[in-house]
Amino acid sequence: MNLFAEVAARVTAALEALKTEGRLPADLVLPSFDAEPPRDVGHGDVAINAALVLAKPAKMKPRDIAEALKAKLETAADVERVDVAGPGFLNITFKPQVWQTLVRTILQEGPRFGAGSIGKGEKLNVEYVSANPTGPMHVGHCRGAVFGDALANLLVFAGYEVTREYYINDAGGQVNVLARSAFLRYREALGEDIGAIPEGLYPGEYLKPVGAALAAEHGASLREIPEERWLPVVRQFAISKMLEMIKDDLAALNITHEVFFSEASLTSGGQDKVKTAIDALRQKGLIYEGKLEKPKGHDDAEWEDRLQTLFKSTSFGDDEDRALQKSDGSYTYFAGDVAYHYDKLQRGFRHLINVFGADHVGYIPRMKAAVAALSGGEADLDIKVVQLVRLFKAGEPYKMSKRAGTFVTLRDVVDEVGRDPVRYMMLYRKNQETLDFDFAKVTEQSKDNPVFYVQYAHARAASVMRNATEQIAGLNLSVEALQAADLTLLADTGEIDLIKRLAAFPKLVEGAASAHEPHRIAFYLYDLASALHTQWTRGNDSPHLRFIQANDGVATSARLALIAATKTVIKSGLEILGVEAPDVMR
């Protein structure tokens, strides 16, 4: 149930009535308007701008429309009063029972409160992480992984049928580098002195077990054959080991994908899905052989004109057309990605979301162009870019070098600070904003770290429920009993304020889901936790406001109904973020 959507429906009905009464032009097309919580508490419970947006098309003064609407809206039984304010806002103030009833609604709907608002069960694909299978996940991957996962959770909650995918880049040159690097470790495992790792190969220690496993499985036999024979074997072996490791790393963050899609599979087993996709584009007249112009900033000496197969992405807003085949005829990375997205479309997805790192921003226009071309404009692709994570240790920048193999792995971070703080911190920022991640601060279990603040609110709610049953004999805290509580006793301003924040949850979820912005949930939870802590402390100062009234089981039941509702919403929000909602703090 969404209170604000309900009010919007009332306004629409009132406007229709005014049209049939001839007080608004009968042919008036109603523009979209908002019914939302006002920022200023002095402006009632719901602010409606309908009169303002209608003024021009209806050729009437906004305040006249507002007055007419006011007369319609203020007759509702649950409305305390309607004010026309400012240039023509309608401010509705509800009677307290609206808020009291909302507590019951939340208890009835439980974890479904706020869910299912916009997805309508439509299929939606979220592709995220997609790190190269050449080594362990480092902390740079972490943000995209957490963001994608929380976004997927959010969209599931909003009612989409979501598939989480990981695109494995197992077809390019870098997996051959991986294979040669693993082969070196294999020779090392056989007792050879391999010396320093040559330039251009991966130096990381994580390949040692792969080498050892190869030695255990193949003995010395691989060493006896030429590279063109051992390379595919070692490559396949190393990739699967790397994927195992990556899946373990993701599991440490509670992240799982339903589909791992192999780039190499596009052109294996006698098929060529890349060609199929290019042919589909060719049929639309979007493929040609040509040369690309030299980019402006390019060094003149190195430039050389080459004839390539190009996709006319400029027809879809890209700056230049993009190469699908290299001059030697092999496919570009982009060509494989085109084929992969063609495959997504053929699997019936019309809503696609890709999560990219900041280093891939230049790739966005061509990807959108490809999806627009392949789907004939039927599918939407949203590409979310997560900006860089800058590591700090106690305020000092924390340097890492990928070349020396001394990068901070995702696992290092999770082991050091824990899964919940990592996830919350990664989400407590807009995705387009660069993120400073300070080990010292995140490890600090202080108010500085919002995850503890929010989790503490949940634990505090659980604690109050536990204490109540101990202090009041025979108190029934089942959901059914709490629903039956006399909720008209919830009349304190702090209690009403807390309920109003709960009431905002469904609309907030809707906005976050349609904007693909999970961070809004994280910030909302902080506010909600704050409202609970506030009311708690008011009870410290004024004992009659405490949730538990040892001599009054009736009042206690009503307040615990509110606590239970708050606990439910905090838990729903934390589940979207993939963060635990503990009943006890350690």
Partner RNA sequence: GAUCCCGUAGCUCAGUUGGAUAGAGCAUCUGCCUUCUAAGCAGAGGGUCGCAGGUUCAAGUCCUGCCGGGAUCGCCA
The footprint of RNA on residues 87-126 (CB under 7 A) is: 87-89, 91
Residue 569 binds RNA, judged by CB under 7 A: no
Question: Which segment (106-114, 146-154, 516-524, 570-578) binds RNA by CB under 7 A?
Answer: 516-524
Distance between CA 557 and CA 266 in Å, rounded?
61
Question: Which segment (35-43, 186-194, 212-220, 343-351) binds RNA by CB under 7 A?
Answer: 35-43
Binding to RNA by CB under 7 A, coded x per residue (else -) over 528-567, reads --x--xx-xxxxxx-x-xxxx-------------------
Binder to RNA among 226, 304, 404, 551 (CB under 7 A)?
Answer: 304
Residue 5 binds RNA, judged by CB under 7 A: no
Amino acid at 179: A
> In the range 272-301, which residues lie near RNA by CB under 7 A?
291-292, 295-298
Are 160 and 514 in contact by the 8 Å Cβ rule? The answer is no
Residue 316 binds RNA, judged by CB under 7 A: no
What token pair was written down for 311?
């996709």
Residue 385 binds RNA, judged by CB under 7 A: yes
Binder to RNA among 27, 29, 121, 173 (CB under 7 A)?
Answer: 173
Q: Which of 440, 442, 411 is nearest to 425 (CA)?
A: 442
> In the range 218-277, which residues lie near RNA by CB under 7 A?
none
408 DSSP assignment: P
Residue 333 binds RNA, judged by CB under 7 A: yes
Binder to RNA among 448, 476, 486, 488 (CB under 7 A)?
Answer: 448
Residue 514 binds RNA, judged by CB under 7 A: yes
Q: How many residues bind RNA (CB under 7 A)?
A: 104
> In the range 189-218, which residues lie near RNA by CB under 7 A?
none
* 215 vs 250, beta carbon nearer RNA: 250
How do strand 351-357 and strand 123-127 relate by DSSP bridges? parallel
- The beta strands (E) that lie in 174-264 are given as 259-262
Name beta bridge partners: 352.
Answer: 125, 381
> In the range 351-380, which residues lie near RNA by CB under 7 A?
358-363, 365
Distance between CA 95 and CA 78 in Å, rounded?
6
C-alpha angle 147/151/153, rounded to 5°? 120
Distance between CA 439 and CA 526 in Å, rounded?
21
* 222 vs 421, beta carbon nearer RNA: 421
Q: Which of 480, 569, 476 is nearest to 531 (CA)?
A: 569
* 62 vs 578, beta carbon nearer RNA: 62
- Alpha carbon separation from 166 to 144, 281, 414, 518, 547 (Å, rounded): 12, 24, 21, 20, 47
Residue 508 binds RNA, judged by CB under 7 A: yes
Q: Which of 337, 190, 361, 364 is nearest to 278 (CA)?
A: 337
* 254 vs 463, beta carbon nearer RNA: 463
* 334 vs 349, beta carbon nearer RNA: 334
Q: Which residues of 372-403 are buried (b: 16+ CB within 10 A; e: fewer)?
A: bbbbeeebebebbbbbebebeeeeeeeeeeee
Binder to RNA among 248, 305, 396, 415 (CB under 7 A)?
Answer: 305
Binding to RNA by CB under 7 A, coded x per residue (else -) over 410-429, reads -------------------x
Residue 511 binds RNA, judged by CB under 7 A: yes
Considering the complex, what minimum distance in angstroms separates the CB of residue 299 from RNA? 9
Residue 346 binds RNA, judged by CB under 7 A: no
Distance between CA 382 and CA 505 in Å, rounded?
24
Residue 504 binds RNA, judged by CB under 7 A: yes
Residue 30 binds RNA, judged by CB under 7 A: no
- Maximum distance among all Cα pairs of the chain, rounded to whole angstroms: 94
How do strand 322-325 and strand 308-311 relate by DSSP bridges? antiparallel
